[in-house]
């Protein structure tokens, strides 16, 4: 299996922890990936918000490079990137006129043959539960984990074709594999405000706050995510939300790769968990203490 890797901008910047932990976990699993050479930004929400053609052309360049380099599948760990790549792939595959217009501009052929996976899809389908299970050295028994899916992993279902859009379970399944307890709560797929983080912080804090307090109410120790945007809203803005609503949350938010890494016996430092804004020391100590 030749697997292309599309990191996207966040994993090289504010969400570097995601990439660090991802690479470590893949190393343990002995899976090789290759970064798409000279990849570019997918355009994220800005492109599809105001310029539809750009929102297809920018991801298309990456897809075309991957396809022309002989790859069959792309892993896009960032939920936003995977959503954009999947959407572009869908449109290029179903609209010949659009594909021609775009490949002409790129000056590269593209046959829309590539498969795009998000992080969860990749772990469950390509890696497999058994494989993951066999690497678990430090079961996370007794830890209560809430999986937050947000919007982009599951919606719109006609394009994402992944999990149940209203009641997704894939991340919870991964959580259960690690031995931790998956916490069920109603706000799993409610929006955190995502793209308007910078431009509409009040709205974003209201939305993210609702999610965080709901998780807290359902007794989780920890939140896992598979999206840098969700992570930055839930983690980076958490202090501010606590201040705004004068109620403590104190929920560490980590990436699913970090959770797997912990269960594989990797150290928090190797997984860059200390790169998060919300301090996770307490729960980490509990995990480490239990394994000793």
Partner 1 sequence: MKTIINEQDRRNFVSQVETMLHDKLAKCYQCGKCSAGCPVNFEMDYTPNQIIKMTELGMQDPVLNSKTIWLCVSCNTCSTRCPKGFEVAGIMDVLREIATRKGIESKTEKEIQVFHKVFLDNVKSNGRIFELELVGKYRLKTKRLFRDMFLAPKMIEKGKLRMSGDKVSAINSIAKIFRDFE
Residue numbers at the binding site for partner 1 (CB under 8 A): 9-10, 12-16, 38-41, 43-54, 57-58, 61, 105-107, 151, 155-157, 165-166, 189-191, 193-196, 198-201, 203, 207, 236, 240, 274-277
Residue whose CB is less far from partner 1, 2 or 12: 12
Beta-strand pair 115-117/73-75: parallel
Residue whose CB is less far from partner 1, 51 or 141: 51
Taking the complex as a whole, the smallest distance from the CB of residue 12 to partner 1 amounts, in Å, to 6
> Using CA atoms, how far apart are residues 252 and 235, in angstroms rounded to an integer?
7
Taking the complex as a whole, the smallest distance from the CB of residue 209 to partner 1 amounts, in Å, to 12
Query: What is the sign, positive or negative, of the torsion defined by CA atoms of 7, 144, 215, 253?
Result: negative
Identify the CA nearest to 11 among candidates 85, 78, 83, 82. Answer: 78
Q: What are the angstrom distances between the C-alpha of 246 and each of 41, 43, 98, 192, 243?
A: 38, 36, 51, 19, 5
Taking the complex as a whole, the smallest distance from the CB of residue 191 to partner 1 amounts, in Å, to 4
Residue whose CB is less far from partner 1, 217 or 274: 274
Residue whose CB is less far from partner 1, 1 or 50: 50
Residue whose CB is less far from partner 1, 99 or 138: 99
Residue whose CB is less far from partner 1, 166 or 281: 166
């Amino acid at each position: 299996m030749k697997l292309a890797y599309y990191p996207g901008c966040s994993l090289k910047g504010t969400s570097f922890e995601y990439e660090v932990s991802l690479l470590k976990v893949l190393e343990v699993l002995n899976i090789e990936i290759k970064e798409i050479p000279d990849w570019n930004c997918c355009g994220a929400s800005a492109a599809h918000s105001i310029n539809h053609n750009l929102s297809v052309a920018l991801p298309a360049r990456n897809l075309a490079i991957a396809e022309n380099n002989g790859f069959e599948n792309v892993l896009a760990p960032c939920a936003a990137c995977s959503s954009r790549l999947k959407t572009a792939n869908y449109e290029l595959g179903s609209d010949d006129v659009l594909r021609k217009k775009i490949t002409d501009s790129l000056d590269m052929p593209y046959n829309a043959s590539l498969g795009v996976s998000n992080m969860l899809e990749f772990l469950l389908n390509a890696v497999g539960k058994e494989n993951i299970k066999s690497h678990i050295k430090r079961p996370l028994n007794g830890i209560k984990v809430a999986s937050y899916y947000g919007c982009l992993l599951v919606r719109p279902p006609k394009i994402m074709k992944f999990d149940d859009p209203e009641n997704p379970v894939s991340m919870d399944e991964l959580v259960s594999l690690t031995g931790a307890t998956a916490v069920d709560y109603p706000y799993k797929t409610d929006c955190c405000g995502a793209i308007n983080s910078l431009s509409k912080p009040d709205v974003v804090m209201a939305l993210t706050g609702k999610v965080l307090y709901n998780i807290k109410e359902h007794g989780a120790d920890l939140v896992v995510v598979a999206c840098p945007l969700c992570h930055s809203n839930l983690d980076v803005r958490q202090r501010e939300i606590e201040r705004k609503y004068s109620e403590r949350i104190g929920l560490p938010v980590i990436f699913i790769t970090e959770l797997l890494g912990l269960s594989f016996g990797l150290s928090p430092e190797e997984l860059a968990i200390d790169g998060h804004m919300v301090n996770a020391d307490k729960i980490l100590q509990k995990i480490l203490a239990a394994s000793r």
